[in-house]
Chains A and B, each alone.
Chain A
Amino acid sequence: MSTKIQFKNVSRHFGEGADRFVALQNLDLDIEDGEFVTVVGPSGCGKSTAMNIAAGLLDTSSGEALVDGEEVNGPGPERGMIFQQYALFPWLSVRKNVEFGLKIQGLPKEERKKISDRYLELVGLTDFADALPKTLSGGMKQRCAIARAYAVNPKILLMDEPFGALDALTRVNMQDQLLDTWSRERRTIMFITHDVDEAVYMANRVIVMASRPGRLKEIIPVNLPYPRTEDIRLSPEFAEIRNRVWHAVYHQ
């Protein structure tokens, strides 16, 4: 396995003087190709800051973030991003949302359609291709956003609390679907969540962060096989890892 995302002693602060706020301090972290890494921690622990730096939406104050050994310099289609609030373009149909990135790349219409068909099918939205986002439920909106991110064929998916706005049942459903999608089209995923259960269920490694200043606290490996199932979720091994993560998050 090769290293896909690398944070090398990355720090980021906002403001100056008395307003200076250290959002992230000396983060060293390697994420390997094809990994599913979840990041948990209290608010203000710098998890979103780290993700935005990897996405190229934020600069580092010091240190560097590398993707495939190259320093990150602005956003790029090889790093897809999923937002908690879906961020679908409300005036575009589901299909046109999925094709947005492809249109930027200048792909001809037939090709765009072929790709959007494939990913709409992958997330189970084929029947809703012409619907406007406002007619979709929260889970469907997020699936559309996942299809949109996948469509430009990124090597990395950065997910910032993607299921945070969903109800508990839909959430569990979406977790299984995302893992299913991921197992069929493997990408390196960095996934932020507040939910310890979700963090353990999805990941092969859980990154626990601490706040004030935002920093890495502990990396907890999840040695449970994929595909993850309900049996795994209810197993004693799962509970044990979950306890470890819980302690790392809540007893800082």
Chain B
Amino acid sequence: MTEQVLQPVAEVRPKTQFRIAELYRKSQGLLLNLLALFLGLGFWTLVTRAGVVGLPGPVGVAERFVELASSGQLFVDIGSSLSRVLTGFLLGVSVAVPIGFLMGWYKTARSLIEPYVQFFRMVPPLAVIPLAIVTMGIDETPKIFVIFLAAFLSSVVATYQGVISVDKTLVSAARVLGAGDARIFLSVIVPASVPFILVGFRIGLGASWATVVAAELIAAQSGLGFRMQQAQLYYELDTIFVSLITIGFLGLVMDRLVQAAEQRLTTWQERV
């Protein structure tokens, strides 16, 4: 049989050669990344030293960072922002996934729920903050609610998309093998929509993170957004920079974590 010659790709390539080439390719990318970082820092230093803009330079910001970190203030802020995001996000996706499945699986449910989802998708979660504060007070509830909304809306649409784009032939194949509706749902629909759901999670987490910072700017007693708000009052530009960089960095880390989970859970996908 001619086809037997075809082995899974990894087995055919000479392993060591493959690794070195891979390492080279990867490290080259990394080196360029680092270079870009240093160039950016250099530019930042130059611009601030020359007094072109009245902003703190990298050294000042780094000093402030150490100060905030050693006093523990920074970690308190990170902790409260992160816990809001995670609570809101987890609540959001745990409601979104079942509802998304419901919408994808039952036409009636779809027609009942979809108008609301599509409408609220057009309202930025931040625009709900004033209403949330008035109706829910100024404690944690309104903040977690808007994050919930942000995470929910992106994940519900993704899950629903995932269900309706399941390959119909797979459903037929399961059916002729004797699968009933429940089995088809659990063994075909759910695994086939996982990649969509994870993309929804990724977008949802990004939206939650963006929302929390903005929510804290408006009403909070702690958190990275709150810290910036305070720093603004006292013209502490370096604190604002520390907060901004921390926000960006944490957002990046969270995105990478979801991406890694996505890669791991969807190794079966054929990637182009």
Contact = CB atoms under 8 A, between A and B. Distances in A.
B191 A105 contact: no
A170 B2 CA distance: 8
A57 interface: yes
Interface string A178-201: 000000000000000000000000
Interface stretch (A7-15, A86-94, A203-211, A215-223): A86-94
A79 interface: yes
Contacts of A134: 268-270
Nearest to A84: B169
B173 interface: yes
B270 A55 contact: no
B177 A79 contact: no
Given A104-B179, A135-B8, A170 B3 contact: yes
Contact of B269 (A76, A79, A90, A148): A90
Interface in B1-39: 1-4, 6, 8-9
A57 B172 contact: yes
A77 B167 CA distance: 21
Nearest to A138: B3
A101 interface: yes
A128 B169 CA distance: 23
User: Most chain-B Cβ atoms within 10 A of its Cβ — which of A57, A76, A100, A169?
Assistant: A100
B176 interface: yes
Interface string A130-142: 0111111101100
Contacts of A137: 3, 6
Q: What is the interface of chain B mostly: helix, strand, loop, or mixed?
A: helix
A252 interface: no
Nearest to A55: B176
A87 B1 contact: no
Contact of A81 (B3, B6, B167, B172): B172
A207 B160 CA distance: 42
A26 interface: no
A77 B178 contact: yes
A98 to B, nearest CB: 10
B182 to A, nearest CB: 11
Interface string A60-80: 000000000000000111011
B269 to A, nearest CB: 7
Interface string A112-156: 000000000000100010011111110110000000100010000
B2 A173 contact: yes
Contacts of A173: 1-3
Contacts of A238: none
A161 B239 CA distance: 67
Contacts of B6: 136-137, 140
B183 interface: yes
Contact of A90 (B2, B3, B175, B268): B268
Size class of the contact patch on chain A: 35 or more
B8 A80 contact: no
Contacts of A132: 267-268
B169 A87 contact: yes
A83 B177 contact: no
Nearest to B179: A104
Which of B9, B174, B176 has the most CB atoms of chain A within a 10 A radius of its CB? B176
B261 interface: no
Contacts of B178: 75-77, 101, 104-105, 152
B183 A104 contact: yes
A92 B176 CA distance: 17
B158 to A, nearest CB: 18
B3 A87 contact: no
A155 to B, nearest CB: 13
Contacts of A136: 6
A175 interface: no
Contacts of A101: 177-178
B3 A139 contact: yes
A246 to B, nearest CB: 28
A128 B187 CA distance: 22
A57 B175 contact: yes
Nearest to A85: B169
Which 6 residue pairs are nearest across A and B when measured between Cβ atoms? A101-B177, A87-B173, A77-B178, A91-B268, A81-B176, A87-B169
Given A56-B176, A148-B177, A173-B1, 5 more contacts: A57-B175, A77-B176, A81-B176, A104-B179, A134-B268
Interface of B: 1-4, 6, 8-9, 167, 169-170, 172-179, 183, 187-188, 191-192, 194, 267-270
